[in-house]
Amino acid sequence: MRRNWLAKAALATAALSVPMAGVAGGAQAATQPGTAKPNAAAPSSHGPLRKPLKKPASHKATTPKKKAHNPSYSGKHRMSFNQEAATLVKKYEGVPYVYGGTSPAGFDCSGLAQYVYRHLGKSIQRTAEAQFLEFRPISKKRAWGGDLVFFHVDSNPNSYVYHVGIYEGGDDMVAATTAGSDVQWQNFSWAGDTVTFGTLTH
C-alpha cells in the first residue's frame, strides 16, 4: 500500500508540474521582443518622424540688382577716346560739305575733325595745317582708329597740309570731302606717300 501511494503521489506531482511549465513558458513568450501584435503602437528606433527641412531664405534665387550707370567709369568695357572718335565720326556720313563748316549742318574737313574731338572732350585747332602742327607725328603702323590722317602737298612730311580725315584703319578714313559733296568713308591709298598720321592719345 505504501508503494502504491508513493507512485500516485509522484504521478500527481508530475501532472501538476506540466501546466505550470506551460504557464511560465507563455509568460516568457509574451515578454520577448518582436512578439507584439501587428497593430500595436511602438516607438520608432529613430525617434519621432520629422518634417522635411525647408531651405533657409538665403538660398532662394534672387535676381541681381542692376548697378546705376556711372558716366565716369573707365574700366575695360568702356571704349577708349580713339574708339569713340572713330565711331562718332561715322554718324555724320552724308552731312553736306560746307566750306568753313563746323557743325552737323555742314562740315569742311578740319571742321569735322574739330567737332568730333571737341564733342568727346578734346579741344583742337581749327585748320588742317594747325591740327598737323598740334598733333604728335606717328607712323601708319602705330596709328589707331580715331587718329588724324594729314594730306600734304607733296611727299615732304613737313610740307603744307591741305586736307585731313579721321582714321579708321587700313587705308580708310571718314572725311568731309569737297564742295558739292558730303562727309564720306574714303579710301586714301590714292594719296601714296603724301599722307602722314598724328595723335594726341598715344
Q: What is the pLDDT of residue 35?
A: 47
Give the chain's residues under pLDDT 70: 1-77
Q: What is the pLDDT of residue 77?
A: 60
CATH number of 81-199: 3.40.470.10, 1.20.1440.20, 1.20.1560.10, 3.90.1720.10?
3.90.1720.10
Cα 56 off chain centre by: 28
Q: What is the pLDDT of residue 155?
A: 97
Q: What is the pLDDT of residue 78?
A: 80
pTM of the entire structure? 0.63
Domain boundaries defined on the chain? 81-199
Q: What is the pLDDT of residue 29?
A: 43
Q: CA dist 70 to 78, 122, 149, Å?
A: 11, 21, 33
Give every CB contact of residue 174 below 8 A, 6+ residues apart in sequence: 89, 90, 92, 93, 112, 165, 166, 168, 183, 184, 185, 186
Q: What is the pLDDT of residue 60?
A: 52
Q: What is the pLDDT of residue 189?
A: 97
- Residue 50, C-alpha cell as written in the block: 520629422
Which H or E run contains 5? helix 2-31
Cα 37 off chain centre by: 66
Q: Which of 132, 183, 118, 198 is nearest to 160 (CA)?
A: 132
Neighbours of 110 (CB within 10 A): 27
Q: Which of 142, 109, 137, 144 is nearest to 125 (CA)?
A: 109
